[in-house]
Amino acid sequence: MKNISILGSTRSIGCNTLDIVALFPERFRVLGLSACENIERLEAQIRRFRPAMVSLNSVKAAHVLKERCGDLGVEILSGVEGLIRVSTLPEVDVVVSAIAGSAGLIPTLSAVMAGKTVALANKETMVMAGEIVTREAEKKGVRILPVDSEHSAIFQVMECGRREDLHKIILTASGGPFLNKSYEDRKRVTVEDALKHPNWNMGAKVTIDSATLMNKGLEVIEAKWLFDVSINQIEVLIHPQSIIHSMVEFRDGSVLSQMGIPDMRIPIAYALSYPERLDLVMQRLDLARTGMLTFENPDIKKFPCLSYAYDAMKTGGSMPAVMNSSNEVAVAAFLHGRIGFLDIERIVGDTMSGHTVKGVNNIEDVLMADSWAREEAERLVEKN
């Protein structure tokens, strides 16, 4: 029996994780949950899975939940301190980090420092502080198991080969809903348009990042830290069918891939059960019905956010955190109707251009870069 905490339990990854737990109650037990502010969904999860501790972002939301769940004996906390408590519960074996955005950094790092295995879906943690997190994980002997379908694919392929034989990693990207749209078409994109991903059912922030290809840029940086490779060893290919989740090329020219239907429960289950595999009763991949699988190189002039990620990683220091945080501000502004779709890439690019790079030696340095980027990006949004 593995005891788990889920950070971001009311979001897409969190809900899918609980689906796996429900299918295998003899294998997994939920001890901790956290959510942003979806009280109704969190209450339903508490009543079904009976965790010992939960946390919400705000004190007000936590107070409301206490009134509604007073009969259940669950400890209800709030804020960053609550997240840290949920992620470091002594009895917990695995922490599923599924919070969207930079809010996942502190609780995920706290889980690592507490010696927990981390099932990582929060790519921003590695983008902002990959060197710090991997250093602490090595010090504590902690495994970070990827949940993102692309990184799970690489992880699974690497189980079949030797690390020293790796030549390069090939991350696949669906291309999002605007792959074949012109500049003029993308100027008129609405929030509703951008939230219609052709293959995956994801949260709003990740879906918008997929539409700009920023999501793939974040995954490039995450892959660099997870698999200890040079940024030059990571390639991106557009694969609209989302059947091949990523590939690894070895030094003898062999290319191995992991394939499957686009369903996040598969990589989640593998991260939870590793090194075993669970007997998932779900739709199976039927290649005959799938038909042709296609690939093309990404157009970085059309989708500059991908190139921003390579530039940020090559620059190093505080730049990846600045890129990530300015993107979060810009995406939120777009979702709230304050800027247009193409303004996202402009605001991120301008914020990065205006940043004086500094070294990142500790988490305080990361948080300072995050704060600066948010203020600058917000200024550019207001100026828009």
- Asked if residues 157 and 247 have their Cβ atoms less than 8 Å apart, the reply is yes
Q: Order across the sheet with 53-56: list the strands.
A: 75-78, 53-56, 28-35, 2-7, 94-97, 117-120, 144-146
C-alpha of 144 from chain center: 13
Mean pLDDT value across residues 7-20: 96
CATH code reported for the domain at 2-146:
3.40.50.720
pLDDT for the residue numbered 178: 84
Mean pLDDT value across residues 95-119: 95
pLDDT digits (tens, 9 = 90+) for 282-337: 889 999 999 999 999 999 999 999 999 999 999 999 999 999 999 999 999 999 99
pLDDT digits (tens, 9 = 90+) for 49-74: 999 999 999 999 999 999 998 888 99
Q: Which of 125-139, 177-191, 214-228 has the lowest mean pLDDT?
A: 177-191
pLDDT for the residue numbered 298: 95
- 204 versus 15: which is more confidently predicted? 15
Q: What is the mean pLDDT of the chain?
A: 94
pLDDT for the residue numbered 236: 97
Angle at the Cα of 260 from the Cα atoms of 203 and 195, rounded to 5 degrees? 20
Whole-structure pTM value: 0.94
Mean pLDDT value across residues 207-223: 95
Percent of the chain with pLDDT over 90: 86
Query: 247 in helix, strand or coil?
Result: strand
Mutual angle of helices 204-212 and 341-353, in 10-degree steps: 80
Q: Which of 130-134, 279-283, 377-381 has the lowest mean pLDDT?
A: 279-283
Burial class of residue 261, CB neighbours in 10 A (0-12, 13-18, 19+): middle
pLDDT band at residue 173 under the 50/70/90 scheme: very high
H or E segment and range at residue 293: none
CATH level 3 topology of 316-384: Rna Polymerase Sigma Factor; Chain: A (1.10.1740)
Terminal Cα-to-Cα distance of the chain (whole angstroms): 53
Please identify which residue in the block is written with the tokens 């495994």. Answer: 143
The answer to whether residue 201 scores a pLDDT higher than 70 is: no
Mutual angle of helices 319-335 and 341-353, in 10-degree steps: 150
Please identify which residue in the block is written with the tokens 């500059």. Answer: 304
Task: List, by residue range, all CATH 1.10.1740.10 domains of the chain.
Answer: 316-384
The answer to whether residue 370 scores a pLDDT higher than 70 is: yes
